[in-house]
Amino acid sequence: MLLGSIEAGGTKFVCAVGNENYQIKDQITIPTTSPAETLQKTAAYFKKFAVEAIGIASFGPIEVRQTASNYGFITDTPKAGWQNTDFVGYLKKQVDVPMFFTTDVNGSAYGEYVMSLLSNENINSLVYYTIGTGVGGGAIIDGKLVGSLGHPEMGHVLLKRHPADLEFAGVCPFHQDCLEGLVSGPTFEARLNKAGKDVPLTDPVWDIMSYYVAQAALQVTLILRPDKIIFGGGVTSEAFLKKVRRDFAKMLNDYVHVPALDQYITLPEIQNNGSATVGDFALAQRLLRE
């Protein structure tokens, strides 16, 4: 069985073909340019393989309700030129196989969930955040993606401001100081006029960031009670998550039981940003089984 994966990002599309054991057989990276050019190259890639189904994990917002007239579209995205793009519709005309369409973070969340099952980690639920150019979150509860009216937008929740960060306006064009507006990669440039990779972990800005990320972890802990919370993306690191765990413990104040924090708040298990690819393969396979 050959399965397809499209990890559609604002900078690049990572397209892959793999088997039912989630092993990659072939992979290509396509720069994200115009919708017409990018989707044409994506379709051309999959035409070379006899894939039976394709899982698509896309940047958004996207329309995931199959009853909606614009199902399969990238909708009101800030990505220039991609607003109201018929992603699934175009690909189906070129490669007529079943396609599972979800968000990039949902794909990553599902990939991490599948890996946990294969490693006998014995978890039923998890939340996956990515913190990079933007912030997004996906949740798996009892093996199912959360969201029926639409997909979650966990990156846009509002937060209590850090006492040392009251003057920073935030960078989100919709909400200013939501989670994405306060902790995404561009906030380093906005606060310090330098890229995050050039800011040492000793800089106080990281304590401000961990304060906000810990609040996000606290919110999903108390609302969803997942078995695990995973943080991926370019802003995260094990050193940063140590700060997040510290602040989370203070905020939770032993109110409810959670696992040991180094097992509860973690980096992805799948290396090299491969969570979404594994998730896509698994969702494509699930589509065939259903």
Q: What are 147-187's pLDDT values in tens digits?
A: 877 788 899 999 999 999 999 999 998 889 999 999 999 99
Mean pLDDT of 93-120: 95
pLDDT tens digits for range 113-134: 999 999 888 899 999 999 998 8
> For residue 278, what are the CA distances in angstroms to 7, 72, 79, 92, 120?
10, 21, 25, 21, 17
pLDDT tens digits for range 35-67: 999 999 999 999 999 999 999 999 989 999 999
pLDDT-derived band at 68, boundaries 50, 70, 90: very high
CATH 3.30.420.40 residue spans of the chain: 3-102+272-289, 120-266
> What is the dotted CATH code of the domain comprising 120-266?
3.30.420.40
The phi, psi pair for 67, rounded to 5°, reads: -85, -10
Contact of 106 with 143, CB cutoff 8 Å: no
Helices 238-252 and 205-224: crossing angle, nearest 10°? 60
> What is the dotted CATH code of the domain comprising 3-102+272-289?
3.30.420.40
Q: Which residue blocks in the chain are alpha helix, DSSP H?
A: 35-46, 87-94, 104-118, 179-183, 186-192, 205-224, 238-252, 261-264, 275-289
Residue type, 254: D
Give the C-alpha separation, 135 to 154, whole Å. 8
């698509």: which residue's tokens? 56
- Dihedral angle, C-alpha 202, 207, 208, 211, nearest 10 °: 160
**pLDDT value of position 79:** 86
pLDDT tens digits for range 241-263: 999 999 999 999 999 999 999 99
The pTM of the full predicted model, rounded to 2 decimals, is 0.93
